[in-house]
A and B are shown apart, each in its own frame.
Chain A
Amino acid sequence: MKTSSPFAIFTAILVSLFTSSCEEVIEYSPYQNIVPKKWKNQNISNYNALLPAANEVFEPFKVALIADTHTYYDEFEKQVKFINSFTDIDFVIHLGDVTLSANSREFEWYSDIMNKLNVPVITIIGNHDCLGNGYSIYTDMFGESNFYFEYRDVKFVIFDDIIWEKHIADPDFTWFNNALKNDGSYKHVIPFAHIAPWDDQFSMGNELYYNYILEENHISLSVHGHDHHYKWKQPYGEVNYMTVPSPDKQELIILDIHAEAVQVERLNY
């Protein structure tokens, strides 16, 4: 039939689109919060992947730190390759800002690249990840934004300190203070939060209070992202503050954790 050929071609294109990459090519909205099943609660599944080693007695181990991958996808892939070249890194912590505008596909692209790492990744929330419906996409994709976990007698406290984008005045310092408590069973307690307390998002009261909580709990190191550059400083006295560079800086930060001290390695690649 003369008229059937364009119809057939058109239908064939549609059918092939649908069958080949339906999930990829269908988007109801860039603000949609529809997390594919395989990418739900990844902080929980990734922590579970650390078991049973996580519960074993202390022996020195290494953790790689990355941050602010935003849409530096190519640089992030390079970083993933570099981390995969090591065999002595137990896991990776991403210090937040996995997206630029918290659009649905940005979260998926992050998950896609992050899952190419050979070791599990714990992902912290960043301020960019709270735009649009980002906060609820994050909680669906990774889990609660305030949490802590133990790995070989070291306590990793992950603190959500996003303020402006969540339209709040203060982060949950009560939770943070309780989470930092060391009942004596931990060799170290290390807090990780996307924004360092000297940033504009912190009021002066919150800035000093953050450091006060750390001093009260005898914390010696606080780790952050957000700045895109490596920094190591003691702006309030005793406590060391470190910021982790974004992947475009081509520098990897590794925490080398020993019983008596936590050392920082800076590796350029």
Chain B
Amino acid sequence: MESILRHVADRAILIGMLLLHAFFAESQEQLNKAVRRGDAVSDAPVTNAANHEKEHNDKDRLWYIPSQYKLQYAGGIGFMSAGFGYEVSPTYQPVLFVGYLSESFGGSQNRVLSVSVKNSFYLSRQPLLKYFRPYAGLSINWGNTNNTFRSLPEYYPDEYYFQNKVHSAPFVGGELYVNLKPNKQIKGMGVYAELSALDAYLLEAIRTQYVKPHMALTLALGLTVYIN
């Protein structure tokens, strides 16, 4: 029975993420239709076709429509995680990830559902050497599994444990970015690799000689699709 429930939960998470994507896609599609019909979506005066295209790219996106989707392997937030992100500014691009790990999906005897807000700051406005975009930032990772808690149950004395549900992890990474401008839907794609350090491990790397800095690091590999 438990395994059936787990199976259903596994599939429900994946379906949920697909539905979310479908919702975003549908909303954007409606907006695009409105723009094509010439409905006033933006107050900016339309001078020519090129400008119109630019306006459409930068301002006509509904605020909740992500500008990028990511699929990530490892990185401490699941065997695989999927995320969507926003271009708040050319440098600051936060991404919300949902990651999953289970016995059949990553080989952990216990299931872990992670939600992570990855605050990415691109370190260069334009790709270096045409393709390379270095970035760094801080992730806030929320882990949902057995025996994790934000505040302790009553029967514990005060401050008996640190909370163990939310962790932060600074990271640095680099993305190989390929511009696909002629493509209508997809602006570009990127393949990235990054190293993050979980706060608990980082603390031991600083505090002890035994834990060397590289022992606190976790590698993530991923794919980004940037949407027009």
Q: Which chain B positions have C-beta within 8 A of A200? A: 157
B120: Cβ under 8 A from any A Cβ: no
Report whether B101 and A132 are in contact in the complex, using a CB–CB cutoff of 8 Å: no
Once A28-B101, A101-B200 are accepted as A-B contacts, the answer to whether A6 and B76 lie under 8 Å apart by CB is no
> Could you tell me how many residues of chain B have their Cβ less than 8 Å away from some Cβ of chain A?
51
Report whether A132 and B219 are in contact in the complex, using a CB–CB cutoff of 8 Å: no
| Chain B min CB distance to A226 (Å) | 12
0/1 per residue, A32-63, Cβ < 8 Å to B? 11100000000000000000000000000000
Q: With CB as the reference atom, state the residue of chain B lying closest to A139.
A: B109
Once A71-B208, A136-B109 are accepted as A-B contacts, the answer to whether A32 and B101 lie under 8 Å apart by CB is yes
- In Å, the complex CA distance between A28 and B78 comes to 5
A170: Cβ under 8 A from any B Cβ: no
Interface size grouping (class) on chain A: 35 or more
Q: When the two chains form the complex, which single residue of A74, A101, A134, A165 contacts B209, counting CB atoms closer than 8 Å?
A: A74
Q: Which of B16-24, B37-45, B127-135 contacts A (4 or more CB under 8 A)?
A: B127-135
Once A77-B210, A109-B211 are accepted as A-B contacts, the answer to whether A27 and B157 lie under 8 Å apart by CB is no
- In Å, the complex CA distance between A73 and B77 comes to 26
Q: With CB as the reference atom, state the residue of chain B lying closest to A101.
A: B164
Report whether A27 and B107 are in contact in the complex, using a CB–CB cutoff of 8 Å: no
Report whether B112 and A29 are in contact in the complex, using a CB–CB cutoff of 8 Å: yes
Report whether A10 and B112 are in contact in the complex, using a CB–CB cutoff of 8 Å: no
- In Å, the complex CA distance between A106 and B108 comes to 16
Report whether A71 and B145 are in contact in the complex, using a CB–CB cutoff of 8 Å: no
| Chain B min CB distance to A34 (Å) | 5
Report whether B110 and A33 are in contact in the complex, using a CB–CB cutoff of 8 Å: yes
Report whether B106 and A28 are in contact in the complex, using a CB–CB cutoff of 8 Å: yes
Interface residues in chain A, defined as those with a beta carbon under 8 Å from any beta carbon in chain B: 2-3, 5-7, 10, 13-14, 17, 21, 24-34, 71, 73-74, 76-77, 100-101, 103, 105-106, 109, 113, 128, 130-136, 140, 164-165, 200
Interface residues in chain B, defined as those with a beta carbon under 8 Å from any beta carbon in chain A: 74, 76-79, 99, 101, 106-110, 112, 114, 128-132, 143, 145-148, 153, 155-157, 161-162, 164, 167, 174, 176, 193, 195, 198, 200-201, 204, 207-211, 214-215, 217-219, 221
